[in-house]
Structure 1
Amino acid sequence: MKNKSSRNNYIFFINEEIPQPKAHLVQSTNAANGAANLGYTTVLTYPEKGRETLKPINFIRPFHPQKAPEKLIKYYNLHDKLQVAPLAMPWPIDYFPSKFTNSNTIATKYYFPFHMLGKTKLVHSRDWNFIKAAIKNGIAAIYEHHHHEDKQFEPEIVNNPLLQITVTVADTIRETMIQHGMPPEKVIKLHNGFNRLFMDRHPQQAQEWRAKLLKNGREKLVVYAGALQQFKGIDILLDVALTMPQVQFVCAGGNEMEVNHYQKLAQEKQVDNMTFLGYVLHDGLPSLLQAADILAHPHCSGQAATFTSPLKLFDYFASGTPIIATEIPSLREFQNTPAIAAWCQPDNPQEFATALAQVLTTHPRKNEGYSESVEFVKQFSWETRASKILTYVDQKWHPELAA
């Protein structure tokens, strides 16, 4: 695929090696994927370490967009339009604690101004240093910011017209950004999206998941997909599972340390009807969600409940599977939609178990899924989100559509 002009790429930058099983990396890769699906020449760039960095091409032409490798495609359910450009970070980068050997410094002070600048039309990133580098080098930028941070934004950056818009996923984050110096007219709240491949039906694979996961004569399957962290409500789900031994619970997500922690906790609590799968590649996740009788969205109260992005909620919707969700501030606007079968108070395993028992009766599993859920989620595709963001970008900074 060739650019119509040299400075035409829509650059999405991640300051971490990928793939990794982290929600913000799922968000960033899918945001880039959505922009690419709109037809823009979109390049996802990120640091790369290890043996791959020793290839001669990495020194002759360090920024060389290419087709995404199969590993990334399966990990994040990417499409074939998105290009990637790993930035080689050979030893001693990141091996010694110094700003001169830091991969972020190398990306912003070396790669961007000397190798990417002449090929970049627009930048989109959650990395503030990369946003600043783009603006200082005369490139328009879109900044994503999803968590509370106690820092002031530099006036010379936020008031620069090249900072087109900043995007967050919660009103509370928007408010704190404004309090820390972001002009109100430059920050919008916009939900995350769902990958459209989650809408494809996989009846055979779903039945294979059920055959694999349903144990000891159990016939009902409850699935949670997401981070394995206490504030996400995993401990609550363990308590629910303990009171419902006839139901099989499955958690998909988390790194090896988190999985080991919760497997040990389940053993200590004598919960034998909960399985921890670890991170499930996104090419296999849609069929797992469709295999479930119920999808669980537990959550604890606290500060995280005010800004947590309902990333998995949209993938849940797309599966057409009944959902039980927790009443936390970031989900309240969805309370009037029929796409969620039941709501529960946070920190309340008894209420969650009662709702679960009820929904298992009122919402029998359908191979084709519940249509009202699938129809509802269509407005939240990553492509729709990318299109909305670009309405806040001056037309002169829009990348041209790919040939």
Structure 2
Amino acid sequence: MKKDNYIFYIQSDLPKPEAHLVQSTNAANGAANLGYSTVLVYPCKGVKAINLIQLIHPFKPITPPEKLIKYYNLHHQLKVAPLPMPWPIDNFPSKLTNSNTIASKYYFPFYIFPNTKLLHTRNWNLIKAAIKNGIPSIYEHHHHEDKQFEPEIVKSPLFQIAITVVDTIRESMIKNGMPPDKVIKLHNGFNSLFMLRQPEKAAKWREKLLKNKDSHLIVYAGALQQFKGIDLLIEVAKEMPTVQFVCAGGKSDEVEHYQQLAASKQVNNIIFLGYILHNELASLLQAADILAHPHCSGKAATFTSPLKLFDYFASGTPIVATEIPSLIEFKNTQAIAAWCEPDNPKQFAACLQYVLATYPRKIEGYSQIIEFVQQFSWENRAAKILSYVDQSLLPALIR
């Protein structure tokens, strides 16, 4: 295999219902859709039987399994390469049995770097290994961390660019040693499949979720965590007993926790669906009268990535959002129907009532919202990132 691949590495087995994995898989998918030879590499944990052929020749890019395609709305241009991590890897707290160590010290130097034109990852240890092995690299960094970036890495001509999603993290990265000219703020994107209108599937969601066909449906899609505003949304639902609220996302224990919390507060008009495969999520967003984007104040509000916001936009459904730093730049657009302050369920409920009264549901979606989001496709994001890469270091275009 020629050394012409754009390699994305995720330090987690797939699939899992976590926002950073949605972001990373879709970033790779966007690059593949531009026509680059793109391979998504990730550890395949829990392998019971050791296959010597897999261990000796582990880099075998394949078409993503159908489960992965449906889970993250991937396209068939992307290739994947699961790295076998047999027992006892990650079963004991030892550096020698850590999948991150196995990947960066064994798989990549011997088998993947020889096939890599450009590396893209959130894994800083792998970035360092890549630079030391002469591999051009792109680093994604989406959270505050109190660590210094090694000068010999970030100042290397092989270190192409670092990407974050909000200015506050960019500032902290520069404070920690990242050269200002090597770090950019770039929003996440939306998957193009979310723009396909699915009126029949949307109608089925409404039929399934609405006890009263004349009622309204308000949907939240994303992580089920307190700082995301889920506790607040339960209070909002209590203020609006005739409206049906639905939350899509979260792990099974989080779903159980919030189901019990809602029941303890005698809030009967909120449903927790758990994680919805992305090939089903688009029609749910289109089924809603309003999409809710609550959030609490606090440190997380300064860096939280508005990942779901762009899929919200692509649905064309009116949005009610909380005024937090990572969203505030969208306040002067027509893409969000109403804004309210964080931590205030009564005001959020009032905003929802206002939007229900002024934005009647449109099966085809609101055109101004759909037009606005076009600039934020994953493909546009990938092209922007690669514009910072030296042309001689770009991966191969295969179509």
Q: TM-score range by the shorter chain?
A: over 0.9
Alignment partner of 1:253 is 2:249: yes
Partner of 1:32 in structure 2? 28
Aligned partner of residue 15 in structure 1, secondary structure: coil
Partner of 1:291 in structure 2? 287
Partner of 1:44 in structure 2? 40
C-alpha distance in 2 between matches for 1:281 and 1:360: 27
C-alpha distance in 2 between matches for 1:274 and 1:255: 17
Alignment partner of 1:93 is 2:89: yes
Cα distance, 1:53–1:384 mapped onto 2, change above 3 Å? farther
Instruction: In structure 2, give the amino acid aligned to 1:8.
Output: D
TM-score, reference length from structure 2: 0.98
C-alpha distance in 2 between matches for 1:310 and 1:78: 20
Aligned partner of residue 327 in structure 2, secondary structure: helix
* Alignment match of 1:119 (pick from 115, 135, 145): 115
1:190-223: CA deviation from partner (whole Å, max 9, x where unpaired): 0000000000000000000001111256610000
- 8 Å CA contact retained: 2:294, 2:321: yes
C-alpha distance in 1 between matches for 2:38 and 2:291: 33
Aligned partner of residue 29 in structure 2, secondary structure: helix
C-alpha distance in 1 between matches for 2:54 and 2:207: 46
- 8 Å CA contact retained: 1:66, 1:85: yes
Aligned partner of residue 283 in structure 1, secondary structure: helix
Instruction: In structure 1, give the amino acid aligned to 2:171.
Output: E
C-alpha distance in 1 between matches for 2:252 and 2:178: 38
C-alpha distance in 2 between matches for 1:218 and 1:270: 23
- 8 Å CA contact retained: 1:231, 1:299: yes
Which ranges in structure 2 are unaligned for 5 or more consecutive residues?
A: none
Alignment partner of 1:194 is 2:194: no
Cα distance, 1:88–1:155 mapped onto 2, change above 3 Å? same
C-alpha distance in 1 between matches for 2:42 and 2:49: 12
Q: What is the aligned length?
A: 399
Residue 133 of structure 1, CA deviation: 1.0
Aligned partner of residue 340 in structure 1, secondary structure: coil
| 1:158-307 alignment runs, 5 A limit | 158-215=154-211, 219-307=215-303
Instruction: In structure 2, give the amino acid aligned to 1:233.
Output: G
Q: How many percent identity over aligned positions?
A: 71
C-alpha distance in 2 between matches for 1:217 and 1:204: 15
C-alpha distance in 1 between matches for 2:187 and 2:88: 39
Alignment partner of 1:331 is 2:327: yes
Aligned partner of residue 50 in structure 1, secondary structure: strand
Which ranges in structure 1 are unaligned for 5 or more consecutive residues?
A: none
Cα distance, 1:351–1:102 mapped onto 2, change above 3 Å? same
- 8 Å CA contact retained: 1:345, 1:351: yes
Residue 231 of structure 1, CA deviation: 0.4
- 8 Å CA contact retained: 1:218, 1:246: no
Alignment partner of 1:396 is 2:386: no
Residue 51 of structure 1, CA deviation: 3.9
Aligned-residue RMSD, C-alpha:
1.1
* Alignment match of 1:131 (pick from 122, 127, 132): 127
TM-score, reference length from structure 1: 0.97
Aligned partner of residue 117 in structure 2, secondary structure: strand
